[in-house]
Structure 1
């Protein structure tokens, strides 16, 4: 998988299509919650395999953290470490921007996945878009 920062409107639309397929169509998140006001200013990542967009995420800088958000891989491409690859790419951009810490809100079913990447849970479980989540941080990138 090739990972790139989505720079054109077309590339951003491709990232939004992947997110819509995973979060809205597969997980039932309302479209108005999935695409929000932060999409205008966030850095969007796009994972491509054989010219097909298959993964997406976005990055924002909040307080002292690079905040990883909307991380997703299309169903047929899961289990190939693509999620890990996109997170590592995001962490590189966080460091390039002078930040040393990362934060994310993980769906609880993915909590162990993030722990393996060095994230630790720092919150109780909470609901977001009808899905249980926890906040996790990585103190040093």
Structure 2
């Protein structure tokens, strides 16, 4: 069973950082200083568990443009089981409860993750770009009431 919760303590945050290190730094060769970019303290973080084991994470933060969803990561052995979907659902639920309708939500989606975000009505905006050596598209949607 997949359980996703808002991170509430340092132990959970360290579990999230370990997942991000495995997925982004080790698997995708993202530079550590780009992955751990200084925005973690101002972000709301989530952690996903399968049978009590930490397997996924994400975060969101407020920016000048709106609310940016970021750092969606699921360990390789837990992909394809609905963990990413649950992370998106939980983040959107928390955002809906915390922000006014009309707020811009956006993210930088890796190409293979775009269908996941499109399921939640995120639309591709602009041209493809490279971030941390990986191709992305900006995707956005407006928070509904």
What TM-score bracket applies, with the shorter chain setting the length? over 0.9
Decide whether the 8 Å contact of 2:100 with 2:143 is kept in 1: no
Q: Does 1:128 align with 2:131?
A: yes
**Deviation string for 1:36-93 (max 9, x for gaps)?**
1101111110001222110001110123532110001111111111111110100111
Residue of structure 2 equivalent to 1:116: 119
Q: Distance in 2 between matches of 1:123 and 1:129?
A: 18
Aligned residues: 141
Q: Distance in 1 between matches of 2:100 and 2:24?
A: 28
CA RMSD of aligned residues (A): 1.3
TM-score normalised according to structure 1 size? 0.93
Q: Distance in 2 between matches of 1:91 and 1:116?
A: 12
Residue of structure 2 equivalent to 1:13: 14
Q: Distance in 2 between matches of 1:34 and 1:47?
A: 19
Residue of structure 2 equivalent to 1:90: 91
Gaps of 5+ in 2: none
Decide whether the 8 Å contact of 1:18 with 1:56 is kept in 2: yes
TM-score normalised according to structure 2 size? 0.91
Residue of structure 1 equivalent to 2:71: 70
